[in-house]
Structure 1
Amino acid sequence: MCGRFALTATADQTAAFMGIGEVEEFPARYNIAPTQPIMMVLSGPPQPPGSNLPDRQAMLVRWGLLPSWVKDTRAFPLLFNARSEEAATKASFRTAMRHRRALVPASGFYEWQQAGGKKGQAYWVRPKRGGLVAFAGLMEAYAEPGGSEMDTGAILTTSANADIGHIHQRMPVVIEEQDFSRWLDCRSQEPRDVADLLKPAEPDFFEAIPVSSLVNKVANTGPEIQERDTGEALAQPEKPKRRKPGADDDQMTLF
């Protein structure tokens, strides 16, 4: 699963990598957590032939997808991840998988090695080549009972490759740059047409760097949380959280 990630590139670097127009400057974010706003890139409106305008658009969404049919958000689990193997068929994700596939720019993500069912050593997982990576995402607009709308999203996950498997059994789905357009094309590409993209990253794509328990706390947002752990500070197991009825093992509760 992917429960924390980082986006430390500049706005210009992110826009160039994602193939979008100018975006407002934003600070480096070293510890992005569920319920916080994240950038998602979606296919934009069709452009006329010969237009130089980008056909992709960036938007901020709340990390934690809420399907449009949810009535009581207090009893619904926080879907910050979606299992790619069932996204096209599961009620929570199938509409977004068909109509609102997205990309999530990131510099890397964090994962915790499980020890007896508890969080153990934390790792900062980043592309070996450096730079940015794009995770497969899903976006859904949720209309609150009061009438206001909130854009929400989830990151798709798949089985971990050999780089990550010794840490956790799941990892985010990585969409390669040459596949951005096909993944985002919800007009002519149905879920079955892009199913081949929902696979683990190639071997040696990522490197996993052990880091200290600083990353465990959302309040820690500085670059020091990505510094290599020298062994002086290991992650402390967290107390088990109470779960809402029906919550997925790989999800967190909403409120």
Structure 2
Amino acid sequence: MCYDIAFSANIESIFKYLPQLKAGGNLDIHFDPTWHKIGMSYPQWPVITHRNGLQLEQFTWGPIPKLLDTLEKVKRQRQLYLNARSEKVLENGTMWNAIRHQRCLIPATGFFEYRQVPGWKNKVAYHIKSREQEIFFIAGLWALSNSWDVDKPERIPTFTLLTRSANPLMAQIHNGGDNAGRMPMMLTNELAEEWVKPSLTDTDIREILRYKLPAGQLDCWPVNSVRKVKPDDATVIAPVIHEGLPALQL
């Protein structure tokens, strides 16, 4: 699944790709560029919603469903809700189906995934980005969650990032673990605009979720592990050469 993302651009860059945000967006939002954030730190992140017109907001990554009704459960299980399978959005009885009308977009400049290489002890980290534009949009869902913070007892806006079956390139990279063969639900700019429209029917949602970004629209290269503490700068995505690493089939 996708737990590592980046937004290394200026926040104002989002308006270049969704210019209609200028009318309803919040230009006062403060978000420092970051080369890597891990979902398990439950960071604040810019998201686009249509709660009160199309607007840019700042939500916390990681919903806290009602079934996590103790602080211990929150600590142990919240990470399970950082991602949601797109196939579950229209599946009756699921949490994601219940909030399918609370749609949002997660802007990013890149994400990271690990490749399992036969015979190698350690997996190889990759940085993946759009080949065609600096910022791309990932489909998401948002929800108001109990904060479990005694100093801030009010409910907080949170989001989950949708994933789907991987395209041929991502299937080669995300090829190990229980959730192998997945990738973020990346959308074209046109589909991103559609995704947050309040008037979408379930049929409309289904059509958007069928979209799979072609492998040829992605760039990727090996990097050092992003799960180790390091400065939050461009060195995070510096290419790394691994002797003997089998080439990806592009």
Q: Which TM class, normalised by the smaller chain length? A: 0.7 to 0.9
Partner of 2:196: 184
Partner of 2:140: 137
SS of aligned partner of 1:60: strand
- Count of aligned residue pairs for this structure pair: 221
Q: Which string of whole-angstrom CA distances, capped at 9 and with x for unpartnered residues, describes residues 197-250 of structure 1? A: 22321231111111112x122554221010100238x9xxxxxxxxxxxxxxxx
Deviation at 1:37, TM superposition (A): 1.0
Deviation at 1:134, TM superposition (A): 0.1
Question: What amino acid is the match of 2:109?
Answer: S
Question: What amino acid is the match of 1:41?
Answer: I
The 1:6/1:185 distance shift into structure 2, 3 A limit, reads same
Match of 1:36 among 39, 43, 63: 43
Considering fraction of residues, name the structure with more helix: 2
Cα RMSD, aligned residues only = 2.4
CA distance in 2, matches of 1:221, 1:107: 14
CA distance in 1, matches of 2:229, 2:139: 23
TM-score normalised to the size of structure 2? 0.79
Q: Which string of whole-angstrom CA distances, capped at 9 and with x for unpartnered residues, describes residues 130-163 of structure 1? A: 3110000110101346641111111000011012
SS of aligned partner of 1:14: helix
Identity %: 24
Partner of 2:234: 223
Question: What amino acid is the match of 2:46?
Answer: M
SS of aligned partner of 1:166: helix
CA distance in 2, matches of 1:148, 1:119: 42
Deviation at 1:39, TM superposition (A): 1.1
The 1:190/1:126 distance shift into structure 2, 3 A limit, reads same
Alignment of 1:200-219 (within 5 A): 200-213=212-225, 215-217=226-228, 219=230
Unaligned runs of 5+ in 1: 46-54, 235-255
CA distance in 2, matches of 1:167, 1:127: 15
Question: What amino acid is the match of 1:105?
Answer: P
Partner of 1:66: 64
CA distance in 2, matches of 1:118, 1:158: 28
CA contact (8 A) 2:108 2:136 kept: yes
CA distance in 2, matches of 1:105, 1:126: 12
CA distance in 1, matches of 2:232, 2:98: 34
CA distance in 1, matches of 2:34, 2:217: 22
Deviation at 1:115, TM superposition (A): 4.8
Partner of 1:153: 159
SS of aligned partner of 2:106: strand
